[in-house]
Every structure is written in C-alpha cells, then in structure tokens.
Structure 1
Amino acid sequence: MLLAIGFSFNKFGGNISPGLGNYLKLQVFRAGYNNRSGLLPEDMYDATTLEQIALPVNSLYGVISDRIINLTNLTVPDLSSNGLSNMLPIDIGKLSNLKFMLLHTNKLRTRITGSVPIWLATLPSLFYINVSVNLISGEFPKELCSLPMLVSRQPAGQVDHEYLEFPIFAQSQLRAESLEYNSLSYTQSLQYNYVSYFPPSIYLHNNSINGNIPKEIGQLKLLHVLDLGVNNFSSSIPDQISNLKKLETLDVSMNHLYGNIQRH
C-alpha cells in the first residue's frame, strides 16, 4: 500500500505520467526541482487521500482545475515556480484542512478583493500564504485580516505538532528570486519537518495590488512575516500595524506610500 511518492531534486523530464488516481491511499506526492513540463495531471484530483502535493520548480503550465475540491484532505499544495496561469478556483475555500498555500512565481490572475477572498479568508487552518510574483491585482482584502490562525492564539494542547515525512521548503526572509532558488544548498537550509516550525506569513510581493493597506491589518496579531513589497499601494502605513507584536519582517518597499512612519 503506497502512501508516499517522492522523487524531487533529480533530472526527470517530460510530462507527469497518469496513474496517480490509482493509488487509493496515497497521501504525499512530491516531484519538485526537476524538468517536468506539460499540464498538471488530471487524475491527480482522483487521489482523494492526498495531503501534500509538491511540484515546485518545474515547467508545468495550464490551470488549477476546479476538481481540486475533491482533495478534501489537502494541507499543502506547493505548485510554486511553474507557469500556471488563469484564475484560482474559488472552491479552494472549501478545503478546510489547508494550512499552506504555496503558489508563488507563476502567472496566476485574480482580483483579491470584494467577494473573491471568501475562499481564502474563511479557511480555518491556513496560516502560511505565498502568492508572490504573480499577476494579482485589485485591493488588499480586509477579509484577509480575519484569518482565524493569524488572529487568535491556539490553546497549547491544540498547537499543530504534525510531522512531515517529506519536508517542506519555505521561502526565507530574503526573497527567493534574488537567490539560487533551485540550488540544493539553498533549499536544504530552509526545510521544515514540523508544521509548528513555520512562521505564520503572508507573502504578496511582486504583484499589482493597489489601494490602501487596510487598518484591519492590525488584527493579525500572530503574524511573523508580512511582505507587500513591489506593488502599487498608495496610502500611509496604518498605525494599527504596531499591534503586530509578533512581526519579525515587514517589507513595503517599492510602492507609492507616503506620510510619516510612526515610532512605537
């Protein structure tokens, strides 16, 4: 009974062969840092027991299918550094076990404003978001400032100590695109095997997000990293950002911000 498939950091090329849907107990599929190309395999969405899908740093293209709603156990989708495009499926908001969203460095389009962020802001377990270096536009959604895992502290007995058999490679506080992103030495220095080791983070840099930084940002009291750099924000920095006592990294560089920077 196969539970995990991993062949990352190799030189496998071509399309991902069909057949994932035949593994009825498969929990982990990792094939990142290869030369894979083509579309995401459609039968991937038939492997309904999948918890981790990690295909970063390949040359995959196309769209994320609406059928992702079938993957109700999914906690980690890492499809970063590919050529995926088009809108994100709204039904992602029904994946209540989602803890990470690693979709940076693609060509994804969406307007994260209005009713669209319902699929993001209502996810009860989500605490690590990286959708940087995409084609996202619109304003910063106030709804994002009410993510349950970033607003209220979990009781000690409920802290997630899940062990990840295959580690996840998180973005460092230095931007990935300024480093050798596909180098083994870089990724090894950023790997985590426990969910609780990840710093709660929101990475939105290198998009086309505009408007104000909402004062509701001050509600994200458990946030450690907030990266809004290289966008089109045009406002002052709200005083409420001083409420983020856990914040270790704040990047608002290369925007159109003005006014005074408050000292607290």
Structure 2
Amino acid sequence: MTGFENLLILALGNCGLNGRIPNWLFNCRKLQVLDLSWNHLEGNIPSWIGRMEDLFYLDFSNNSLTGEIPKGITELESLISVKSYTYSLNTSTGIPLFVKRNQSSSGLQYNQASSFPPSILLSNNRLNGTIWPEIGKLKQLHVLDLSRNSITGTIPSSISNMINLETLDLSYNDLHGLIPSSFNQLTFLSKFSVANNHLEGAIPTGGQFLSFSSSSFEGNPGICGKLISPCAVNNVGLQKPTPSRADSKFGRSIILSLTISVGIGIALVLAVLLLRISRRDAGVPIEDAEEENPIFSDAFGPPKLVIFKNADCKDLTFTDLLKSTNNFNQSNIIGCGGFGLVYKADLPNGSKAAVKRLSGDCGQMEREFQAEVEALSRAQHKNLVSLQGYCRYGNDRLLIYSYMENGSLDYWLHEKVDGGSFLNWDTRLRIAQGSARGLAYLHKEPNIVHRDIKTSNILLDEKFEAHLADFGLSRLLHPYDTHVTTDLVGTLGYIPPEYGQTLTATFRGDVYSFGIVLLELITGRRPVEVCKGKNCRDVVGWVYQMKSERREVEIFDSSIRDKDCEKQVMELLGIACKCIDQDPRRRPSIDEIVSLLEAIEIGKP
C-alpha cells in the first residue's frame, strides 16, 4: 500500500481493527504519532518499528499482541536524542486529536501534536519475553507502560538513565528480582507501579518513592519496606538453629491458641460494629451519600464540609455538592492535577464553582490537601484563586474554588485552536502583571513559596484577569527564613537549576519558574518542546541561542509580531531573561519584577 509517505499522525484507536499490524506502515517513515489502541490486533510487534526515526508516541495498548517486545523499539531515534524535523507540528493541525483512555466515546484531546507526551504504551496485551536493558537509551521518553502482559525476567536498572520519565507502569506481569535502587534518581517520576509481580527485597528509599502509595507495590509477597511491611534484618552467615520436636509441638500449640483468640476478637468487633450501625440507623438519619453516588461510602460517617464565611455558597450541603457535579461525572471534568481531577459544579444558587477531588491513601495527597487549605486560608488576594471551602470524606478530600470562566493560560497558549491569536499583546501583558502581583503577595504577606508556578496553574476569569492556583506543593516559610528544605518536586521545564542540586525551595526559585511563564507568553512555545529542531527542545536554550544570533524578533509568537508593540515585547523579554538567570543571586525579587512589568504601559507603543 502506498500513498501515505508523508503521513505524520495515524490515530485509529477503538476502530474495531482485526489482523496484524500492517507492513505497509513502514512506508510511512515520517510518522511521529501512531495510535492503534483498543482494537483486536494480533501477532507480533514488527521489528521495523525501531527504524521509524521520527516516531515519539507509540500506543499499541489494549490489543491481543503476542511475542517479545522487539529490540528495535530501543532504537527509536527521536526518543534517544532530539531530532531535527523538516516540519514542525507545534502549529495547530486544524482538527482536534484524541488519545483513547477507555472504550467510551471520549478521550484526551490534543490540538497540537507536540502536546503528546513522548510515550511507549503496550499495556494489556499478551506480550512475553524480557525488558531489553537497552531501553535505558530512550532518555527523551516520558511515559513507559508495559502493564498487564506476561513479561518475565528482572527490571533493568538501565531504566534509571531515562531521566525524563514521568510514568512507569510494569504492573501485572511475571517480573522477579529487585526494584533497582537507582530508580530514586528518576526525579520526575510521578506515577509508578510494579504491583502484582513476583518481586522481592526492599523498596527504594528517597527520591519520588517517598510519595508513592502502597498500591504501587501490592501483590508482591517478597517486597518489604515503606508502607508494605518492615524489612527483616538478615544475619548473613549465621545458621538458624533447627527446632526440636518438642519446640515444634509447643509452637503449634501457641499458633492454635492465637488463632482461636484472634477469631473470637474479630467476632466481637463485628458484633460491636453491627450494634453501632443498627443504633445509627434507628437514630437521626444522615445524608445517604452512597445512594446518591456509590463512590462515597457511609462507612466513613457523615462528610465534614467546611464553607468559609466570605464564600458565595454559604448554605451548600454535601448532597448539593454531589448533585452540582453530576456525582463527579466524567463530563464535568475541566482539569487535572497530580493527585486528582477538577470538576465543574453548577451550584443551587445559580453560581458556578470548581471542585478538586483528591483521592487515594497516599501521604503526599494528604500533604497537598493540607498545604492548599493552609495557603489559601491565609492568602486572600484578587490575583489568587479563591478557596470557598473544603470537605473531608473517608479517603477523599474535596477543595471548592471560585470558577474561572476561561480556564488556564496553558490552554489558551498551547491547546485551544487559534487561542494564541486571541491573546493579543495587551491581554498577555495584563496576565503577566496580574500573575506577578499574586506571586508578590504570596512571597510578602503569608511568606509562602509556591514551588509550582506554570501556565496551567494560572487561571483566567471572564475578563482574562490572572489568578494563581494549585497550592498543593506550596510551603510556608517562617519569618526571616530564606528557604525550605524539601523533596524535588515540580514540573519538567519550570524547575530552577539550583533546586535539583540543593533541594531547597526559595522565593528566587519561584522567580525562575515565573520567568519561564513570561517566555511562554512571548514565544507561544512550551518550556520543553517535542517536535522542534536540534538544540531547540528547551525554550531557555533556544531563546539564548536566538539572542546570541541577534534574532530576537523571530522569538516572538506570530500573533504579537507587530511593530507597534515590538519595543514592549523586547522589554518583557529582558525581564524574563533576568528571571531565568542561572545564578539565583542575580535574579530580581518578585517585587522588582512587578515594578518592571508595571512600567510597561498597556496600549502604549
């Protein structure tokens, strides 16, 4: 089959395809995104996949593929190093692109191919064999999902060389051996699972492993440490004494007695619980959340809903909250974070709210919830998102915010078709000024380091006024403190260079991240691009290169490349470059940045 030599994207997820992966695809040598997920494909993954030099997103998940993972996959050039592309997919394709996540009609939407995270998704097939150690060469890969197969062998320690890896899922396989301790070097790893294998030994400590829940490791009886079970100290070289027959008999008697005692104890506990439940049902009824929404259970008791005095929804009840989000229906999702989803809520009084639902048994989730409540209960400013209230219910934590009609800055700059052109120069400058004022207030009044300043955490109201959001990673500094020691967290592309070396979060680190936001407003590029030319994947490096060649004007986003505002954009570029200085001591304070930004007058050429 010919005629598709220039094909760049092929997405045929959930199309009922049968048979094998067709060999004619090899003629599509320019393919960058290949999605054949949720079909009925059989046979082996062809070895020629590794010779598709531009391919950076591969999804064969949820099929019936068999055989080994071909070694050729470890040779995907665009995942080994940044490629020089003849055609950039950073511009809008004109049509929405969807990635399937289930068999429903909905999926994750991307309007630019560069928004696809570099991924290899082979989950839920019948693959066997081992994981090639050479996979560690794929240093540009962000997502590796080999879950729900029959993969054997050990986990290669070379995976720790994949420095950009954000998701690693090896669950539901036949892997054995240890979890490599070098995995604690994967500083951007936010989702990890090796559940339901045959692994053994200690769970690595440090790094991102401090934030993973026990569900990431369950189903491996030989694993110990962290939330699973403490590791026993092995006295290597000491022979265990052989128990005598009398000791063995005595031991069996003890075990039998303990078993009977435990059984009686469990029976008593169940009796008490049944008695309490019957008394509760006979007394004053509580809101039956389980009947409204099965994902909430009455076993946790009534929800603890707190609404602040200055909120727009003072009389809101938990039942109202469920109804307003259509029982947290997927159709109400308007955003996502590291530990939960954000839902649109149509409240009974006619107003709207955004409800972030954090869930899970992870200690990091609880810390995010507490940090958010603490930060926003202390901080009240027109350029910060307003927290209306919060709710604790079992393992769920709900945060209720004022609703931002125009979503995030990230959406307008990078996702919405023609969104960038709608954000004219005056609007972008107002967003920069408002965001800076919000950050200056945080640094000065409640003394808070945000730690996650980025365009997706800058929300826009109906007038496109900026509001800083997502304080789950924020930390409160005591008076006269200059920094706080913390784990390495944040978002790839926004983390200041000194942070990874010192593990200290500072106000100047927030300034660096804000400088990246300014570069995005000027260039329209993401901090880390996938489909860009050699040495241009990092927006900071690209900007410095263009400045050294005196080609600054070419940096500007096409929608603000206007002689009338060229001088102002150059001034903003100068401020951004001060913010991203490699030496934090040379970066301006956020108060200085506010003064510099306000000196750029809106609407004045």
Relative contact order (alpha carbons < 8 A, sep ≥ 6): 1 or 2 greater? 1
Aligned partner letter, 2:61: S
Q: What's the CA shift for 1:74? A: 1.5
Matches within 5 A, 1:38-77: 67=1, 69-77=2-10
Tell me whether 1:124 sits opposite 2:42 in the alignment. no
The structure with more helix, counted as a fraction of residues: 2
Matches within 5 A, 1:147-186: 147-154=76-83, 160-171=89-100, 176-177=101-102, 181-183=104-106
Q: Which moved more, 1:83-92 or 1:252-261?
A: 83-92
Q: Percent identity?
A: 38
Q: What's the CA shift for 1:97? A: 1.7
Matches within 5 A, 1:224-243: 224-243=142-161
Whole-angstrom CA distance in 1 between matches of 2:157 and 2:28: 34
Whole-angstrom CA distance in 1 between matches of 2:129 and 2:165: 22
Q: Specify the alignment match of 1:263 in structure 2.
A: 181
Which residue of 201, 219, 234 corresponds with 2:137? 219
Q: What's the CA shift for 1:154? A: 3.2
Aligned partner letter, 2:70: P
Mark the CA change 1:156 to 1:208 in structure 2 (over 3 Å): closer, same or farther: closer
Aligned partner letter, 1:181: S
Aligned-partner SS, 1:124:
coil
Could you give the per-residue CA deviations for residues 31-72 of structure 1, whole angstroms, max 9, x where no partner exists?
Answer: xxxxxxxxxxxxxxxxxxxxxxxxxxxxxxxxxxxx2x3222
Whole-angstrom CA distance in 1 between matches of 2:99 and 2:20: 24
Aligned partner letter, 1:135: S
Q: TM-score, normalised on structure 2?
A: 0.29
Aligned partner letter, 1:72: E
Q: Report if aligned partners of 2:65, 2:125 keep a CA contact under 8 Å in 1.
A: yes
Whole-angstrom CA distance in 2 between matches of 1:156 and 1:148: 12
Matches within 5 A, 1:70-219: 70-112=3-45, 116-118=46-48, 120-154=49-83, 160-171=89-100, 176-177=101-102, 181-183=104-106, 187=107, 190-219=108-137
Mark the CA change 1:74 to 1:134 in structure 2 (over 3 Å): closer, same or farther: same
Whole-angstrom CA distance in 2 between matches of 1:239 and 1:151: 17
Aligned partner letter, 1:166: I
Could you give the per-residue CA deviations for residues 115-164 of structure 1, whole angstroms, max 9, x where no partner exists?
Answer: x321x111121111111111111111111101011011236998642321
Aligned-partner SS, 1:165:
coil
Aligned length, in residue pairs = 182
Mark the CA change 1:101 to 1:148 in structure 2 (over 3 Å): closer, same or farther: same
The structure with the larger Rg is 2
Which structure 1 residue ranges, 5 or more long, are not aligned?
A: 1-66
Q: Which moved more, 1:86-95 or 1:223-232?
A: 86-95
Whole-angstrom CA distance in 2 between matches of 1:95 and 1:126: 10
Mark the CA change 1:158 to 1:103 in structure 2 (over 3 Å): closer, same or farther: closer
Mark the CA change 1:237 to 1:71 in structure 2 (over 3 Å): closer, same or farther: same
Could you give the per-residue CA deviations for residues 173-230 of structure 1, whole angstroms, max 9, x where no partner exists?
Answer: xxx23xx7324xxx3xx32122222110010001011011110110111000000000
The structure with more strand, counted as a fraction of residues: 1
Whole-angstrom CA distance in 2 between matches of 1:125 and 1:156: 8
Q: TM-score, normalised on structure 1?
A: 0.65
Could you give the per-residue CA deviations for residues 205-258 of structure 1, whole angstroms, max 9, x where no partner exists?
Answer: 010110111101101110000000000001110010000010000001000011
Whole-angstrom CA distance in 2 between matches of 1:208 and 1:224: 23
Q: Report if aligned partners of 2:133, 2:156 keep a CA contact under 8 Å in 1.
A: yes
Q: Report if aligned partners of 2:54, 2:83 keep a CA contact under 8 Å in 1.
A: no
Aligned-partner SS, 2:64:
coil
